[in-house]
Structure 1
Amino acid sequence: MLFSDSQIDSVYTEKIVDAQTRSMPVMTRRDVWLPQVQGKALAVIGMRRAGKTTFLWQLMAQRVQAGTPREGLVYFSFEDERLAGLQASDLDRLVQTYYRLHPEWRDQRRAAFYLDEIQLVPGWETFARRLLDSENIDLYLSGSSARMLSREVASSMRGRALEATVTPFSFREMLRHIGHEPTQEWYKLTKASHSQLAHDLDQYLEQGGFPEAQGLDTRSRHALLRNYVDVLLLRDVIERHNLSQPQVLRWMVQQLLGNAAGSFSINKFHADLKSRGVAVGKDTLHQLLSYLEDAFLLTSISICSSSVRQKQVNPRKVYPVDTGLIALFDRSGKANTGHALECAVLHQLLRNGAEVSYVHTPGGFEVDFHARYPDGREALIQVCADISSQDTLTREIRALQDARKQLTQAHAQLIVLMPPPSDLSWPSDIELTLASAWLLNDQMSHSN
């Protein structure tokens, strides 16, 4: 714990100088969408171990490539035992220390501050707002989901911060990480390249996109991912919200992640707990689900409806943040490739900024996703790993056609893992797309 201003200044100076003189780390470039609004801080959020700190360094590297000298960039991590007990009143000394080292930057040139794990300092929000108002700087903030959740940043920064969400690797980012990212559009690739992509997609659906999990053997990967989940539940949910029934939370997680891409009803789960003699209120269960979503462990989507009541009374479909988590909780013994593919498609839709729901048609069919993109386009998307039979293809198409009776402006699309047999046929108003092409955002389609 720090005891004097001189000790604080010494640590500040050491960390600033070390960060400015260290070599830029070699890292896989991330495709994270950034809001382009002047005068706002950028809060980098996301699940633990998804790569938020690495993304801060990527942003710094982009500035260097654009010509900003290293002395104009300040990376500072507050996750340091020497800074334990730091208070908001001590944060001003960080700014003073930087400008004492580089006085030529004060007011004359625009510096950029990258403050990592700043949520460890109580009252950091007031400092961040004042920094934006009083100094000629761009401000980037990042931290664990425990104390820097999106809605908390929005409220504590009083509209002064926008968010960028870092997720585990997308399929393209994973390919980039292992050196297999295509340099051409999908339809221009060779047959050998298509086969390699199909193999890599199988690996991606199984191992997921957490950076540290890439290339690990199955046992090591499962141990790593289980540790991620355990730490998240303990720190970001149980301790943070002071839960009195942590076992109920763990049962819920098992239910949710053990049925990836399945529907989940609070009412049914409540009834199941009641039958076991577990006394817990429905409101508490709703809170637990929201805590898990706030911590980025999972995403739930509601039924497609203009009625708020319909969205509330119908079950939600639940997806883990990463396909690699499915095997940890699924007890069926099956490969669950279809559920993993559906999960991958959902997260790519979210990365693309779409509002996503699922569709229950008048005829009693279900379509996996209705997506509304930022530009107003709509899509009905059905995901199927195996359409090797005409019966399967017919069933999937029937659901899409029935949904289009309600959603007439939506483009209908069937995303499949493997190319269909040549003797299968489908209507011209349904686009059939290979998942490897769609996940790369190259909309390659088959046509009759």
Structure 2
Amino acid sequence: MDEKLQIALESQNPWWFGKEFETGVERLSFFPSLMQYLDAPEVLLLIGARRTGKSTLLYQIISSLLGRGVPGRAILFITMDEPLLLSMADDPWLIRRIVEDHLARHPGLERLYLCIDEVQHYPSWVPTIKTLYDTKSTVKCILTGSTSSLLRQDSSRLLSGRYFSCTVYPLSFPEFLRIQGILNPTIIEKRHYFEMYLKYGGFPRVVLEKDEDLKMQILKNYYETIYLKDIIYPNRVRKNSEVTDLLYYLISNAGNAVSYNQIARTLNIAPDTVREYIEYAGNAFLLYPLMKFDYSVKKQVANPKKIYFVDPGLINAVAFAFSENRGRLLENIVFIALMKKYGDIFYHRDRYECDFLVRSGRTIVQAVQVTQSLQDDATRQREMRGLLEAMDAHGLDEGTIVTASESAETTVDGRAVHTVPIAEWLEEL
């Protein structure tokens, strides 16, 4: 093996020499399935937006393996973000050569854990991993990546039946509390910390930063990095200003129903281009379009979408005046929480609107409305009408209104409406 490459690998694998390495604040306990997947032969994919903690989780997995008695040399870590490896990324045999060389140097290994960070930078990763999986049963592959188009489309076609995937999001509110050592907070403390979560979001580095001005600068840097490295560069977008204008429009209207044709007219961009750019941003895990529920898939696709973002801190850093948009930020947080747990989410709109419907199989099983407060009579009537209409449309006996701090139990014509403070709702979800 080339000496420079060997030196790079040795610097990336300090456990080969019994050296300590940074594993960050413990988060692995929030991903119990990961340890289960480690004992299975299938490839494990950790995917998600940049800076959500995928690499840290990978280091925590490595630490856990070492704690279980796995020899250091049985863990081969490769980060494709490393300049030398990036310069060699066009070589389709690179990873195979590294693995073969490592196995030849250590012939007594019963199993090799091959960990590749930011695998999307290696164009030949799919056929390489497929070949390793098919021909070397003793090699367990654990990969991270920040681009869903690579890790979902290609993998589903060529790695079908050979992988498990786990999406890593910014910290949930319970994780946000845990990572700062906040255990058993009072109701007042919990709501105080939720205000911080609402404003700055859950990116781990931002959560741990004490300087509030620096928090916002970090968030702006994250946004620009995702915009450039995961949207502009990989998709070879020529008209950067169109993407800039579109993303700013979407982030300024987070939670609002928008038509792609309407956006196209507003920004003077072709509708197909709008759709394409939104797909790029979705592939980068920056945003998530939410469809209006309809039993006709064709109508679902044609109806306006509500756009939500991966983290409320990004919204505040880029577009929102925090104090003026709390309701939409609450809605964004509820959406991410529901999507993480249930996956199949829609919104309801007929005469009135309900923010979220949760589907299980072919059946709507939950209706959730989100609002800052129900103290204003007009707001209360509007939110209740939308929730009850959605419940009636899908035969639900109960529904939920998530608020900033209010709680109540209400019965309307035999149907139960639970009003729940968002901090408590997030912990109980």
Taking structure 2 as the reference length, the TM-score comes to: 0.88
Structure 2 partner of 1:445: none
Residue 158 of structure 1: CA displacement?
Answer: 4.5
Contact 1:79–1:117, Cα closer than 8 Å, also in 2: yes
Q: What whole-Å deviation, never above 9, does each CA across 1:200-242 have from its counterpart, x for those lacking one?
A: 1111011101111123434322221111121222222222222
Per the alignment, do residues 113 and 378 of structure 1 end up closer, same or farther by CA in structure 2, a change over 3 Å counting? same
Structure 2 partner of 1:27: 25
Q: What whole-Å deviation, never above 9, does each CA across 1:380-428 have from its counterpart, x for those lacking one?
A: 00112212345533432222111112111474111122134x8x95546
Alignment of 1:332-343 (within 5 A): 334-343=323-332
Structure 2 partner of 1:238: 232
Structure 2 partner of 1:111: 112
> 1:199 is matched with which residue: 192, 213, 216?
192
Q: How far apart, in 2, do the equivalents of 1:334 and 1:123 lie?
A: 47
The answer to whether the aligner puts 1:429 opposite 2:416 as a matched pair is yes
Q: Sequence identity, in percent? A: 24
Residue 145 of structure 1: CA displacement?
Answer: 2.3
The answer to whether the aligner puts 1:440 opposite 2:408 as a matched pair is no
The answer to whether the aligner puts 1:96 opposite 2:100 as a matched pair is yes
Alignment of 1:39-58 (within 5 A): 39-58=41-60
Contact 1:43–1:142, Cα closer than 8 Å, also in 2: yes
Contact 1:379–1:410, Cα closer than 8 Å, also in 2: no
CA RMSD of aligned residues (A): 2.6
Residue 253 of structure 1: CA displacement?
Answer: 0.5
Q: What whole-Å deviation, never above 9, does each CA across 1:81-122 have from its counterpart, x for those lacking one?
A: 2332242213223223332443221xxx33322111233333
Structure 1 partner of 2:147: 145
The answer to whether the aligner puts 1:132 opposite 2:133 as a matched pair is yes
Structure 1 partner of 2:76: 74
Q: How far apart, in 1, do the equivalents of 2:277 and 2:228 lie?
A: 13
Q: How far apart, in 2, do the equivalents of 1:139 and 1:321 lie?
A: 27
Structure 2 partner of 1:346: 335
Structure 2 partner of 1:446: none
Q: What whole-Å deviation, never above 9, does each CA across 1:220-274 have from its counterpart, x for those lacking one?
A: 2222111112122222222222222221111111110011111111111112234
Contact 1:28–1:177, Cα closer than 8 Å, also in 2: yes
User: Bigger CA drift: 212-221 or 45-54?
Assistant: 212-221
Residue 373 of structure 1: CA displacement?
Answer: 4.6
Residue 27 of structure 1: CA displacement?
Answer: 2.2
Contact 1:32–1:165, Cα closer than 8 Å, also in 2: no
Residue 317 of structure 1: CA displacement?
Answer: 0.5
Could you say what secondary structure the match of 2:428 adopts?
coil
Q: How far apart, in 2, do the equivalents of 1:127 and 1:261 lie?
A: 40
Contact 1:19–1:74, Cα closer than 8 Å, also in 2: no
User: Bigger CA drift: 374-383 or 136-145?
Assistant: 374-383
Q: How far apart, in 1, do the equivalents of 2:9 and 2:226 lie?
A: 33
Could you say what secondary structure the match of 2:115 adopts?
strand
Structure 2 partner of 1:123: 124
User: Bigger CA drift: 23-32 or 316-325?
Assistant: 23-32
Per the alignment, do residues 333 and 161 of structure 1 end up closer, same or farther by CA in structure 2, a change over 3 Å counting? closer
Q: What whole-Å deviation, never above 9, does each CA across 1:171-196 have from its counterpart, x for those lacking one?
A: 111111111144xxxxxxxxx61111
The answer to whether the aligner puts 1:318 opposite 2:318 as a matched pair is no
Q: What whole-Å deviation, never above 9, does each CA across 1:114-137 have from its counterpart, x for those lacking one?
A: 111233333222221121122212
Structure 2 partner of 1:210: 203
Contact 2:12–2:79, Cα closer than 8 Å, also in 1: no
User: Bigger CA drift: 19-28 or 232-241?
Assistant: 19-28
Per the alignment, do residues 46 and 101 of structure 1 end up closer, same or farther by CA in structure 2, a change over 3 Å counting? same
List gaps (5 residues or longer) in structure 1: 183-191, 275-279, 443-448
Contact 1:16–1:75, Cα closer than 8 Å, also in 2: yes
Q: How far apart, in 2, do the equivalents of 1:32 and 1:335 lie?
A: 35
Residue 316 of structure 1: CA displacement?
Answer: 0.4
Per the alignment, do residues 94 and 206 of structure 1 end up closer, same or farther by CA in structure 2, a change over 3 Å counting? same
The answer to whether the aligner puts 1:252 opposite 2:246 as a matched pair is yes
Structure 2 partner of 1:171: 173
Structure 1 letter corresponding to 2:189: Q
The answer to whether the aligner puts 1:228 opposite 2:217 as a matched pair is no
Higher helix share goes to which structure?
Answer: 2
The answer to whether the aligner puts 1:383 opposite 2:381 as a matched pair is no
Q: How far apart, in 1, do the equivalents of 2:68 and 2:406 lie?
A: 43
Aligned residues: 417
> 1:307 is matched with which residue: 296, 299, 302?
296
Structure 2 letter corresponding to 1:178: Q
Q: What whole-Å deviation, never above 9, does each CA across 1:337-362 have from its counterpart, x for those lacking one?
A: 2111111111111111331000013x
